[in-house]
Amino acid sequence: MTSNVWEYAPAPESRDIANLRPNYRMFVDGEFVDGAGEPLKTVNPATEEVLAEVATADASDVDRAVRAARRAQETVWGRMPGSERAKYLFRVARLIQERGRELAVLETLDNGKPIKESRDVDVPTAAAHFFHHAGWADKLAYAGYGPDPRPVGVAGQVIPWNFPLLMAAWKIAPALACGNTVVLKPAETTPLTALALGEILQQAELPPGVVNILPGAGDVGARLVRHEGIDKVAFTGSTEVGKEIQRAVAGTGKRLTLELGGKAANIVFDDAPLDQAVEGVVNGIFFNQGHVCCAGSRLLVQESIADELLERLRQRVTTLRLGDPLDKNTDVGAINSRAQLERIRELAAAGDAEGAQRWTSPCPVPEKGFFFAPTVFSNVHQAMRIAREEIFGPVLSVLTFRTPDEAVAKANNTPYGLSAGIWTEKGSRILWMAQRMRAGVVWANTFNRFDPTAPFGGYRESGFGREGGRAGLEAYLASGDEGAGI
Amino acid sequence: MGVPSTTASAVSTASAAGAVSAQLPAHLADAIRDDAALRRFLHGLPGVDQVGLEQRAAGLATRSVKKAAKLWAIDTAIRMVDLTTLEGADTPGKVRSLCAKARRPDPERPEAPGVAAVCVYPDLVEVAVAELAGTGVGVASVATAFPSGRSSRQVKLADTRLAVEAGATEVDMVIDRGAFLSGRYGEVFEEIVAVRAACGDAHLKVILETGELATYDNVRRASWLALLAGADFVKTSTGKVSPAATLPVTHLMLGAVRDWHAQTGEARGVKPAGGIRTTKDAVRYLVAVHEVAGPRWLDPHLFRFGASSLLNDLLMQRRTQLEGRYSGPDYVTVD
């Protein structure tokens, strides 16, 4: 909301494009089938209306899906030459592009993220991951994992609700490129685009069983990762659940990669390009309503420019347009669920209670739906909960530092280690800082940029393993006497 | 230090500064005390990150402006047009027909607003003034050895006086890019101040020719230099050099006038010129004005388009909005 001189007329994307159906079913062994679990209702977080009823899996469904994946791996997919697997992946990538508008609208309806982000980030990046990994499928011998790397077998993959389609692509594409098959569990609140991806896989005539998609809540995920027919577990989500999975998998011989929470520092030095730093800070924490594991949720700003930067930041945040996620001019959409909204409120209240100074964008907030106005806490100290705990919402905590050493110490003073941002015009300082950041991804003079060629992943409580790039193939390739078919 | 100032130019910067510094806050008055201070100030401005600036400009360009908001934008853009002809082949006849278009852009829809000004070479100002007397449409003239700016100070000032004495209400001067690129900021400053004085009551637009300054850091420095020297508007380009106006450069200049306003309380204007041909482009610029500088700048006193073919596209789109169907280029007048 910037003025009443010039109000942009509503420019909503049509929800009909999503081809929303009242019922969705599981995708197992190449078919859409009923699940034996209690069906779940998925809700549009911007309006609180029920979008569709979705079948869920019980233990027998998990069993059936894992058996289908095993059979497909051993009889078809694992034996197929890489150049043939690549053709399927290229086809899937093109189909994602062709159905891009439908997927974007469906994603926005189910997740609450603004259409401009699902349209310009989620869907194109999902397609890019399939393209990228399609290219690897026939070149795995040259990836640096031995002359004859083999698939690991059947992967059980559990993904979060913040980038439902994109996370499915991140997980499925490398697994398939390396000759593995997949049983994927999408998040309870956002199953729709994963099931639409199932339709695309059918359209691409992917052999039955290569990918199976089982909607459901945490219990389905727990069964899946514990299933003895699984060779490899990949999980993206909360640190708490990640630790549970690690305990469950320990001693089973299953491979595991975890991509968990974060509390990233965006570090702005006094010689930074200020206007672009402000953009980067805004993008770092308000992109996708802050539902980003690598969000720049802590702003560390050099004390000598803190007041000026904060003033510019507040002005810029005031121009963010919050509201109907389907409107093409919406910058900040809806919080994905009531539970998440409660958590954000609870942590923001803790910020007040601990003496941080709260500033909230004066933007109007819709009465219906789960919304939280962009919020900046200044005068935050390391000891406060809002500086230590992952909020996973549009809430920025601002801390200051005096010297580069202090910036390093504060940035690293967190149990997490997923990402960091460095803002300075001095190239040598970027390199000096990047070497000292305990974070899997360090951005310099930018933030939240994702590319399939760049490995992504964390340290310590942010998990282990990498996704994307050459490094991301490692989790899905076996060498020596390990792996499938031996 | 490598400050290429001579004592003589330091002195004249200081005396030129006296003319404009009266109302400036202390830190800005200090910046124009002498050549060295000006250099320190301009080089002390925060840098511009090219990738970030271009990403932001591209992001804002995805705004979707429809219906009433679009019609409002079209009418506002028409009121912001400096309808321009700057050809060697310009004649009094050509200028008269341009003036007729400026007064009443769409003869079939007399309620369509008029443009802000007509922009011509100095020798044709007289013709335009005669045509536009009493219409409220301004007469802008380029001056100071436009477009290259390669002549003596005397010639540039004479050029300016020629335009002003013929009745120009606005002067579009070019800066000495050679002096700027060789670091003689004091000289550029002093020249703007001198032209400003020669303008009298006429508004001064200072053309940076951003296509020749090449880097965004230079554009930011040149914008601040012009604002410090008293420019009413900073303008991107002559239209004779490619690239002319671009969205990122305009974003940067809008940021400069926003910051100038925050520091001095004065609102100065921005004029992108060259290469803006379609309504779609114009709306993207207006979105930038709205969200970078602020709603106050959505006003012909603070934002202009230097353009010639843009006007007809705005008129065609205006009819489309009102009539619900597309017309064609033969339904708007070609002048």
Residue range A269-302, pLDDT digits in tens: 999 999 999 999 999 999 999 999 999 999 999 9
Q: Is the pLDDT of residue B10 over 60?
A: no
Q: Could you list the residue range(s) of the whole structural domain that residue B306 is in?
A: 7-331
- In this prediction, residues B279-302 reach a mean pLDDT of 98
Q: State the best of A3, A276, A447 to mutate against chain B, taking most chain B CBs within 10 Å.
A: A276
Domain boundaries, chain A: 15-260+461-478, 265-451
- Rounded Cα distance between A77 and A205, Å, is 13
The structure tokens 């004495």 sit at B165
Q: What type of residue is B134?
A: G
Nearest to A276 among B52, B72, B286 (CB): B52
Question: Which residues in A lie closer than 8 A to residue B72 (C-beta atoms)?
Answer: 6
Nearest to A446 among B52, B66, B290 (CB): B52
Confidence of residue B327 (pLDDT cuts 50, 70, 90): confident
Q: What is the pLDDT of residue B21?
A: 56
- Rounded Cα distance between A378 and A314, Å, is 11
Q: Count Cα atoms within 13 angstroms, Cβ side, for A150.
A: 16
> What 3 state SS string does chain A have?
CCCCCCCCCCCECCHHHHCCCCEECEEECCEEECCCCCCEEEECCCCCCEEEEECCCCHHHHHHHHHHHHHHHHHHHCCCCHHHHHHHHHHHHHHHHHCHHHHHHHHHHHHCCCHHHHHHHHHHHHHHHHHHHHHHCCCHHHCCCCCCCEECCEEEEECCCCCHHHHHHHHHHHHHHCCCEEEEECCCCCCHHHHHHHHHHHHCCCCCCCEEECCCCHHHHHHHHHCCCCCEEEEECCHHHHHHHHHHHCCCCCEEEEECCCCCEEEECCCCCHHHHHHHHHHHHHHHHHCCCCCCCEEEEEHHHHHHHHHHHHHHHHCCCECCCCECCCCECCCCCHHHHHHHHHHHHHHHHCCCEEEECCCCCCCCCCCCCCEEEECCCCCCHHHHCCCCCCEEEEEEECCHHHHHHHHHCCCCCCEEEEECCCHHHHHHHHHHCCCCEEEECCCCCCCCCCCECCCHHHEECCECCCHHHHHHEECCCCCCCC
Domain-located, residue B286: yes
Sign of CA dihedral A427, A432, A433, A437: positive
Q: Which one of A102, A117, A188, A259 is the catalytic residue? A: A259
Number of domains composing chain B: 1
Q: What is the pLDDT of residue A12?
A: 97
Q: How many CB atoms lie within 10 A of CB B27?
A: 9
Cis peptide before B243 (omega within 30 of 0): yes
Question: Which residues in B lie closer than 8 A to residue A14 (C-beta atoms)?
Answer: none
Q: What is the pLDDT of residue A3?
A: 53
- Rounded Cα distance between B37 and B33, Å, is 6
- Rounded Cα distance between A141 and A149, Å, is 6
Residue B122 token pair: 């100095």
Answer with the residue of higher pLDDT: B254 or B327: B254
Topology given in CATH for the domain delimited by A15-260+461-478: Aldehyde Dehydrogenase; Chain A, domain 1 (3.40.605)
Domain-located, residue B197: yes
**Is B70 part of the annotated catalytic residue set?**
no
Question: Which residues in B lie closer than 8 A to residue A3 (C-beta atoms)?
Answer: 290, 294-295
Q: How many CB atoms lie within 10 A of CB A401?
A: 21
Q: What is the pLDDT of residue B23?
A: 80
Q: What is the pLDDT of residue B17?
A: 58
Q: Is the pLDDT of residue B269 over 50?
A: yes
Q: How many CB atoms lie within 10 A of CB B290?
A: 25
Check if the beta carbon of residue B206 is closer than 8 Å to that of residue B231. Answer: yes
Q: To 10 degrees, what angle do helices A164-177 and A100-111 make?
A: 130
- Rounded Cα distance between B265 and B218, Å, is 24
- Residue A79 makes CB contacts below 8 A (sequence gap 6+) with none
CB contact under 8 A, B55 and A279: yes
**Is B66 part of the annotated catalytic residue set?**
no
Domain-located, residue B1: no
CB contact under 8 A, B65 and A11: yes
Q: State the best of B56, B79, B285 to mutate against chain A, taking most chain A CBs within 10 Å.
A: B56
Q: What is the pLDDT of residue A5?
A: 84
User: How confident is the model over B115-129, as pLDDT tens digits?
Assistant: 999 999 999 999 999
The C-alpha angle with vertex A423 and arms to A420 and A425, in degrees rounded to 5, equals 145
Class of domain A265-451: alpha beta
pTM, to two decimals? 0.94
Check if the beta carbon of residue B149 is closer than 8 Å to that of residue B177. Answer: yes
Confidence of residue A479 (pLDDT cuts 50, 70, 90): confident
CB contact under 8 A, A328 and B291: no
Question: Which residues in A lie closer than 8 A to residue B60 (C-beta atoms)?
Answer: none
Question: Which residues in A lie closer than 8 A to residue B76 (C-beta atoms)?
Answer: 6
Question: Which residues in A lie closer than 8 A to residue B53 (C-beta atoms)?
Answer: 275-276
Sign of CA dihedral B244, B246, B251, B254: positive
CB contact under 8 A, A329 and B295: no
The structure tokens 């536009």 sit at B132
User: How confident is the model over B229-248, as pLDDT tens digits?
Assistant: 999 999 999 999 999 999 99
Q: What is the pLDDT of residue A2?
A: 43
Residue B77 token pair: 């853009």
- Rounded Cα distance between B158 and A350, Å, is 68
Nearest to B46 among A116, A120, A274 (CB): A274
How does the average pLDDT of chain B come out, rounded?
A: 93
Confidence of residue B331 (pLDDT cuts 50, 70, 90): confident
Burial of B122 by CB count in 10 Å (0-12 exposed, 13-18 middle, 19+ buried)? buried
- In this prediction, residues A210-236 reach a mean pLDDT of 98
Q: What is the pLDDT of residue A4?
A: 72
The structure tokens 């110490």 sit at A409
CB contact under 8 A, B290 and A2: yes
User: How confident is the model over A2-40, as pLDDT tens digits?
Assistant: 457 899 999 999 999 999 999 999 999 999 999 999 999
Domain-located, residue B2: no
Check if the beta carbon of residue A253 is closer than 8 Å to that of residue A286. Answer: no
User: How confident is the model over A356-368, as pLDDT tens digits?
Assistant: 999 999 999 999 9
CB contact under 8 A, B52 and A319: no
- Rounded Cα distance between A19 and A17, Å, is 5
- Rounded Cα distance between B167 and B146, Å, is 18
State which residue of chain A sits closest to B49, comparing Cα positions.
A273
Check if the beta carbon of residue A461 is closer than 8 Å to that of residue A417. Answer: yes
- Rounded Cα distance between A33 and B217, Å, is 60
Q: What is the pLDDT of residue B102?
A: 96
CB contact under 8 A, A3 and B290: yes
Confidence of residue A481 (pLDDT cuts 50, 70, 90): low
Q: What is the pLDDT of residue B333?
A: 86
- Rounded Cα distance between A255 and B26, Å, is 66
CB contact under 8 A, A3 and B286: no
- In this prediction, residues B142-169 reach a mean pLDDT of 98
Check if the beta carbon of residue A201 is closer than 8 Å to that of residue A172. Answer: no
- What's the CATH code of the domain at B252? 3.20.20.70
Q: Is the pLDDT of residue B1 over 90?
A: no
- Rounded Cα distance between A14 and A20, Å, is 12
How does the average pLDDT of chain A come out, rounded?
A: 96
Q: Which residues of A touch B (CB under 8 A)?
A: 2-3, 5-11, 116, 120, 271-277, 279-280, 319, 328-329, 425, 445-446
- Rounded Cα distance between A86 and A108, Å, is 30
- Rounded Cα distance between B223 and B175, Å, is 11
Q: State the best of B49, B51, B292 to mutate against chain A, taking most chain A CBs within 10 Å.
A: B49
Cβ of residue B63 closer than 8 Å to a chain A Cβ: yes
Domain-located, residue B67: yes
Strand duo A357-360 + A375-378: pairing: antiparallel
